[in-house]
Amino acid sequence: MASPTTHAKLSASGAMKWINCPPMLWMEEGLPDTTSPYAAEGTLAHSLVEAKLARETGKITAAEYDKKLVHIKQSQFYNQSMEDYTDEHVSLVLEDYHGTPEADIYLEQRVSFNRWATGGFGTSDTIIASDGQLQIWDLKYGKGVKVNADHNFQLMLYALGAYDFYDVLYGFESVKMTISQPRIGNLSQFEMSMDDLLKWGEEVVKPAADDAMNGRGEWDFEDPHTWRFYKAAGFCRHLAEKNLEIRKYEFKQANTLKPDEIADILDQKADIERWLKAVEYYAMSQVKDGKLVVPGYKLVEGRSNRKITDPVAAETVLRKHGFNKRDITETKLLSLTALEKVTGKDKFNDLLADLIIKPSGKPTLVTDDDKRPALNSTAAAQEDFD
């Protein structure tokens, strides 16, 4: 097992890991950071939001904004949807900012909470500071996981850092933290007194940071968010033991599972699938690099389909040799979403409403907090009637 060094970072974004399960810092030490297209897309969205807020609050000129936008538009991840979603986020932030008397706004501000966690820091998207109140706004551009602001460790650490730097100017008494996730319509807010935040910093953050930096603390994976971005998930024995607890259902007192046991197993489905993918990815990467031999497994080339590298050139060759265009190409109507953009929503409904149906979706088992009505329920019948 690797040991932590003075270079280990107690980051705000990784707070769920080192606060809930301090030894995870040891397991991750020395492992490379990974990136993904989703992360790159999120980074670009944050840059666009920063530029828009800077323009709207007078921190940059229109010309400076246009220059930034030219650079942003060069990215493969930029599109009209990103413009629309970031506009939505920016309008919400500005509503809070303009609605707060004599407020100041700070964008993409690096804040240090070193006072509670040695070397701890993070970059807060937006800080709105006014007499007595601190506001933290955080954009989550992803749409895979709904994020809640209630006692969100990342935002609370941002708040501690902002308090430590700005409190002398504003005398904060409370902090309001907001997560905006526009792509899934999630707006989550949480407010707490500054006294409670500081108490959390002293009683929770300090001891957890000390444990993390010194290799102490309990292995605790009860909250699945703790290991969602755990770099050692693929080979951590403690996490494997947690996920393999499902083997407890090898009991003898009955041949069938009870409803509450079925519910318990289903609750673990997403976490176990995610863990298995992490183990599989680790095994594949280690075998590929010649660092590991897994008994009974080997790495092979996966199946793939043939593809034309240059469709235009291929069509030219075929046409040159006497094949008709109608025999080698095909056309089809655009998707509903694309057609709606071409015609406009109102015209689309006027012209095509009678030609569109929405078939019943494939039955899916979800948790009770899902907003869709249960099949064969009164609510579902009412929805069909409406």
Measured in degrees and rounded to the nearest 5, phi and psi for residue 125 equal: -55, -60
Q: What is the mean pLDDT of residues 211-215?
A: 89
3-state secondary structure of 355: helix
Q: What is the mean pLDDT of residues 349-361?
A: 83
Q: What is the mean pLDDT of residues 357-377?
A: 74
Question: For residue 254, what pLDDT is reported?
Answer: 63
Residue 342, token pair as written in the block: 């071409």
Residues contacting residue 48 through CB under 8 Å, at least 6 positions apart: 69, 72, 78, 82, 83, 86
Q: Please say if the pLDDT value at position 172 is more than 90.
A: yes
Question: For residue 353, what pLDDT is reported?
Answer: 86
Q: Please say if the pLDDT value at position 381 is more than 50.
A: no
Question: For residue 5, what pLDDT is reported?
Answer: 38
Parse the chain into domains and list their residue ranges: 15-213, 237-288
Among 205, 198, 216, 202, residue whose Cα is nearest residue 117: 205
Residues contacting residue 302 through CB under 8 Å, at least 6 positions apart: none
Q: Please say if the pLDDT value at position 382 is more than 80.
A: no
For residue range 282-291, what is the model confidence (pLDDT) as tens digits?
888 888 888 8
Distances (CA, A) of 80 to 37, 75, 164, 341, 374: 18, 12, 39, 12, 35
> Are the C-beta atoms of residues 304 and 319 closer than 8 Å to each other?
no
Q: Kindly indicate the confidence band of residue 258, based on its pLDDT and cuts at 50, 70 and 90.
A: confident
For residue range 19-76, what is the model confidence (pLDDT) as tens digits?
999 999 888 888 887 777 888 999 999 999 999 999 999 999 999 999 999 999 999 9
Question: For residue 100, what pLDDT is reported?
Answer: 95
- Mean of per-residue pLDDT scores for the chain: 87
> Are the C-beta atoms of residues 148 and 120 closer than 8 Å to each other?
no
Q: Kindly indicate the confidence band of residue 378, based on its pLDDT and cuts at 50, 70 and 90.
A: low
Q: Please say if the pLDDT value at position 385 is more than 50.
A: no
3-state secondary structure of 352: helix
Question: For residue 178, what pLDDT is reported?
Answer: 98
Q: What is the mean pLDDT of residues 127-136?
A: 98
Q: What is the mean pLDDT of residues 160-177?
A: 97
309 torsion bin: left (phi>0), alpha (psi -120 to 50), beta (else): alpha
Question: For residue 7, what pLDDT is reported?
Answer: 36
CA distance 198 to 246: 39
With tokens 């109102």, the residue in question is 346
Its CATH architecture, for the domain 15-213, is Alpha-Beta Complex (3.90)
Q: Please say if the pLDDT value at position 268 is more than 80.
A: yes
- 324-332 long-range contacts, Cβ below 8 Å, gap at least 24? none
> Are the C-beta atoms of residues 161 and 111 closer than 8 Å to each other?
yes
Q: Quick one: what percent of the chain has pLDDT higher than 90?
A: 48
Among 114, 161, 165, 158, residue whose Cα is nearest residue 139: 158
Distances (CA, A) of 43 to 112, 162, 175, 245, 323: 21, 22, 25, 37, 47
Q: What share of the chain is helix, strand, coil (3-state, %, to 5)?
A: 50, 10, 40
Residue 301, token pair as written in the block: 């080339």
CA distance 235 to 336: 45
Measured in degrees and rounded to the nearest 5, phi and psi for residue 306 equal: -65, 150
Question: For residue 245, what pLDDT is reported?
Answer: 82
Please give the model's pTM, rounded to 2 decimal places: 0.72
CA distance 12 to 18: 10
**Across the strands, what pairs with 181?**
186
For residue range 64-122, what is the model confidence (pLDDT) as tens digits?
999 999 999 999 999 999 999 999 999 999 999 999 999 999 999 999 999 999 999 99
Residues contacting residue 327 through CB under 8 Å, at least 6 positions apart: none
Instruction: Say how far residue 301 (Cα) sits from the centre of its chain.
Output: 31
Question: For residue 151, what pLDDT is reported?
Answer: 96
Lowest-confidence pick of 78-87, 243-252, 293-302, 346-355: 243-252
CA distance 356 to 336: 9
CA distance 155 to 345: 38
Residue 45, token pair as written in the block: 């969205």
Measured in degrees and rounded to the nearest 5, phi and psi for residue 305 equal: -105, 145
> Are the C-beta atoms of residues 320 and 314 closer than 8 Å to each other?
no
Pairing relation of β-strands 174-181 and 186-193? antiparallel
CA dihedral sign, ordered 266, 269, 272, 276: positive
CA distance 346 to 178: 34
